[in-house]
Homo-oligomer: A and B are copies of this chain.
């Protein structure tokens, strides 16, 4: 057999300090999360990227079901007339719709848009099935992809087609619907913080930034490594606007015809972009252990030596039996390649075992996050791995939390905000009068958009950062993805 010319190469990536955007793209492609497709702005979720999404899905789905939600599937296509029923909504979405105009060889009588979001489809369905108070609440969710014909695109952060879940619920009263909207935001925050190790700022969007057609939009905002903001999940309260536009009504317990109240909430694969930009480093991806497709990769050292492969496979089986997502690399690639490859892929732990370790009844465990190596007695394997995975989660969370806190600055004047954004960057927290004119001016002069009016309010002063008029709300500003 000829010498194998095809050994895989260790891929190099750009340092994030040199070019953050290029570093990000490098990680997305070199860690084999994503590939570009033949259609501009549409991406292929490769096995490793999709496996991360499946783990996020599992975490969310079990929380949705535990709070009484059921999954459904609505059609992919929305007739133009249906999309137009709610005025604000169509204004928000129509400019970025992709339209089907031909079916088979025939021109369609009415063009159909590929769903950019499915409020209109849910409302149309509900208008047929809701009659009595007994039919409420309806607590639905759907896992699907949606299309938005954007001009620019970036892996995970801005796709023309992206994967997400969209929850849609219908309630007898406004109070119930608002409670639902808040509950779902808390679920997003829980998954972000406790599973993805991404600290969040929870709050309300301003009128300017809320979802098209919503009365209120709640959001969780995360700070990336480059101090930009990523909106990571939103939850909308619609009041009865959609229900009225779609003639949804129910007979209440007193036989009175009543309009119900609606919510929707969504979290998408852009969260994967958030994970990359929150935890990644110059050696590649760093995955939070609770959603890492492989939590521990077993690597036999000096594999050709007697007993090594058996010993490595024993470790693999023990880890799997303990409920740890473990893999093994017994390929003929070099140790250097394997170390670099699993660092690039962000696998939380490498578990190495070779002849010397076997003599000492130990293995060597290497952490992806800190690079620390520890020798672990074999009889303590499972317990140590579980502890280390929790430690990595805590370490990643604390590091991200420090980044968020270190780069959140109370500012009192527009000049202060400008200087902060120019010299350092991050979240500027200020008082705000509530006027959209000030929001527009902040954008124009300081280049920032409002991120949210946080639930955790602080009294920083009595006047608006922009116009100086009386102000009672504290707001976060930042540059957003």
Contacts and interface: CB of A to CB of B under 8 A. Distances in A.
Contact of A161 (B1, B71, B72, B75): B75
A98 B108 CA distance: 10
A131 B76 contact: no
B43 A75 contact: yes
Contacts of A43: 75
Interface string A129-154: 10111100000100011010100000
Nearest to A99: B102
A258 to B, nearest CB: 12
Interface residues of A, number: 67
Contacts of A102: 98-99, 101, 111
Contacts of A254: 1-2
Nearest to A32: B129
23 contacts: A2-B254, A4-B253, A6-B132, A6-B134, A6-B251, A7-B134, A8-B134, A42-B75, A44-B75, A50-B72, A51-B71, A53-B73, A54-B71, A73-B145, A76-B76, A95-B104, A98-B104, A99-B101, A100-B100, A101-B101, A101-B102, A134-B331, A144-B145
A106 to B, nearest CB: 8
B124 A37 contact: yes
A269 B74 CA distance: 14
Interface string A328-363: 000100000000000000000000000000000000
Contacts of A7: 134
Contact of A71 (B47, B71, B75, B149): B47
Label chain A's interface by main secondary structure: mixed
A406 B73 CA distance: 38
A77 interface: yes
Interface in A240-259: 251, 253-255
A77 B42 contact: yes
A50 B37 contact: no
Contacts of A303: none
Contacts of A423: none
A477 to B, nearest CB: 29
A46 interface: yes
B50 A71 contact: yes
A290 to B, nearest CB: 19
B161 A76 contact: yes
Contacts of A128: 35
Interface string A22-66: 000000000000010111001111110011011000000000000
A45 B73 contact: yes
A112 interface: yes
A5 interface: yes
Contacts of A45: 72-73
B47 A163 contact: no
Contacts of A4: 253
B39 A77 contact: yes
A331 B132 CA distance: 14
A125 interface: yes
A103 interface: yes
A100 B103 contact: no
A145 B77 CA distance: 12
Most chain B CB within 10 A, of A44, A45, A100, A161, is at A100
A256 to B, nearest CB: 9
A150 to B, nearest CB: 9
Nearest to A331: B134
B121 A37 contact: yes
